[in-house]
Amino acid sequence: MRTFLSMRKLLPALLLPALLLAGCGSGKFISGPLHLPEESDPAAEEVVVWHTYSEEETRVFENVLIPLFESEHPDIKIRSVRQPYTDSLKTAVISRATSGKPPDLVRMDFTWVPQFTQLGLLYPLSELSDFPEVKARVRGDLLQTAYDDGGYYGLPLNVSTKIAVYNRKLLTAAGVKQSPATLAETVELARNSGSAIGIGDFSSWGFLPYYIGYGGQLLSPDWSRAEGYMNSPASVQAIEKLLALYREGVLRISSLTDGVDLWNDVRAGRLFMIDEGPWFYSIFLNTRSVGNDILQQTETAPFPGVAGSVVGGEDLVILKRSQHAEAAWTFMKWMLSPTAQEEMFRVGQLPTTLDTPIPSELSKDSYVRATMDGLDHAFLRPPIPQWDEIDAIMAKSLTLVFTGRLTPQMGLDDAAKAADALLALRKH
């Protein structure tokens, strides 16, 4: 079930030979539902890109990358449409894709791609003549996020994982010379400090590192069954341990507790540790009122424990009914170029390509190093169409458990039963 990544290969010393996109060729699209003309229209084509970049990421995307691309490709214009990251966005993309008026490109969460693939809404990129050359530049582990039935339906654009962010004063006061290596040690240090560990919610992105870290399971190795895994004795024991820590006050879960502000509470010393992505720093470092104070207030390390944290990130996909698919493919390839990947790296978007070096100004930043080291032990969530629904089912059950309405065994039994009902519908 777990897929480990070795992202140290991103470091310059271990880079594979660069296969620059300029040499990838035009890559004619196969005949099929797109029915693209052999010769492009002399007028500039407009490619509409939907994305969920943050404000700072959008600034770089729209003011740096798009002008660079358009200067190199004057026959293509890119229209950036920033969207909120919500379930309603997924519904909107599906609706537009099925109605014949889709955006051309969508940057979507890794966990969304299997559902869109199953619905037949994505263009099969692996059938393009130059796809193998582009694929060779991308971390192979991450390509699993867009793989289905022998083909690839997207390209991983950026990757991340959550790291441990400690309050520096509390960590120093604990007398440890280096950050704790295990969850148990982290919990004990938080308890002794009179503080707590802050968790956001029961979503897989928020809660799974702790659940897996304490031995919890999700699905069978082939992702076909939850019974016996999600509600196994090991899983029940993991929830019992976490529930006891929550009741003790050593865990604070912001979705259940009014007044918990994870980001500011760890800065102020009201929390010993939180786990968060590198954007925690890229956002604060671009906030005038905080600036470099954040680097003095906190210390980072990979998420404690062998299990590590969750792999997050987004794939770039072409909607099958796009009227500008070849131009969209040109832009997609360019977004995986060293130039584009390095620019987005500077605002916290870790690259997925093998030939993108760490920008010199980031090479010594502890949070960048912690994130990249953390990816060595990070795990992918099950790449199945039903995952978001299973994620929601488990979150609902855990909320009932932690608010005292169900026992851990009852909650996980209910979640496993509901998950198996969804998995029974899975296409093979």
Instruction: Indicate whether 42 and 121 sit together in one domain.
Output: yes
Which residues pair with residue 155 across a beta bridge? 316
Q: For residue 3, is it within any domain?
A: no
- Strands (DSSP E) contained in 174-320 are 197-199, 251-253, 273-276, 298-302, 311-318
Instruction: Indicate whether 98 and 181 sit together in one domain.
Output: no
Residue 291: pLDDT band by 50, 70, 90 thresholds?
A: low
Lowest mean pLDDT of 137-141, 290-294, 308-312, 420-424, name the range.
290-294
What integer pLDDT is reported at residue 215 of this predicted model? 96
What integer pLDDT is reported at residue 426 of this predicted model? 61
Q: What is the pTM of this model?
A: 0.82
- Separation CA 16–CA 18 (nearest Å): 6
Domain edge (last residue) among 357, 377, 397: 377
Lowest mean pLDDT of 56-60, 288-292, 332-336, name the range.
288-292
**Domain total for the chain?**
2
Q: What is the pLDDT of residues 351-370, one digit of tens each?
A: 999 888 878 777 778 888 89
Domain edge (last residue) among 377, 392, 414: 377
DSSP 225-254: --TTTTTSHHHHHHHHHHHHHHHHTSEEET
Q: Taking all residues of the chain, what is their mean pLDDT, rounded to a whole number?
A: 87
DSSP 134-182: HHTTB-HHHHGGGEETTEE--EEEEEEE-EEEEEHHHHHHTT-SS--SS
Q: For residue 7, is it within any domain?
A: no
Q: Who wins on pLDDT, 165 or 22? A: 165
Residue 292: pLDDT band by 50, 70, 90 thresholds?
A: low
Q: For residue 348, is it within any domain?
A: yes
Q: What is the pLDDT of residues 255-285, one digit of tens each?
A: 998 878 999 999 999 999 999 988 888 788 7
Q: What is the mean pLDDT of residues 136-145?
A: 89
Instruction: Indicate whether 300 and 341 sit together in one domain.
Output: no
- Separation CA 107–CA 120 (nearest Å): 17
Instruction: Indicate whether 105 and 181 sit together in one domain.
Output: no
Instruction: Indicate whether 183 and 263 sit together in one domain.
Output: yes
Instruction: Tell the residue number behind the tokens 């792999």, with chain if given.
Output: 311
Q: Which domain holds residue 298?
A: 161-310+382-423
Q: For residue 41, is it within any domain?
A: yes
Q: For residue 6, is it within any domain?
A: no
Q: What is the mean pLDDT of residues 164-191?
A: 93
CATH number at residue 222: 3.40.190.10
Q: For residue 389, is it within any domain?
A: yes
Q: For residue 282, is it within any domain?
A: yes
Domain edge (last residue) among 343, 359, 377: 377
- Maximum distance among all Cα pairs of the chain, rounded to whole angstroms: 70
Instruction: Indicate whether 279 and 336 sit together in one domain.
Output: no
Instruction: Indicate whether 95 and 178 sit together in one domain.
Output: no
What integer pLDDT is reported at residue 109 of this predicted model? 94
Instruction: Indicate whether 168 and 147 sit together in one domain.
Output: no
Nearest to 32 by CA among 151, 156, 146, 147: 151
Q: For residue 5, is it within any domain?
A: no
Instruction: Indicate whether 60 and 192 sit together in one domain.
Output: no
Instruction: Indicate whether 46 and 30 sit together in one domain.
Output: yes
Instruction: Indicate whether 104 and 183 sit together in one domain.
Output: no
Instruction: Indicate whether 165 and 110 sit together in one domain.
Output: no
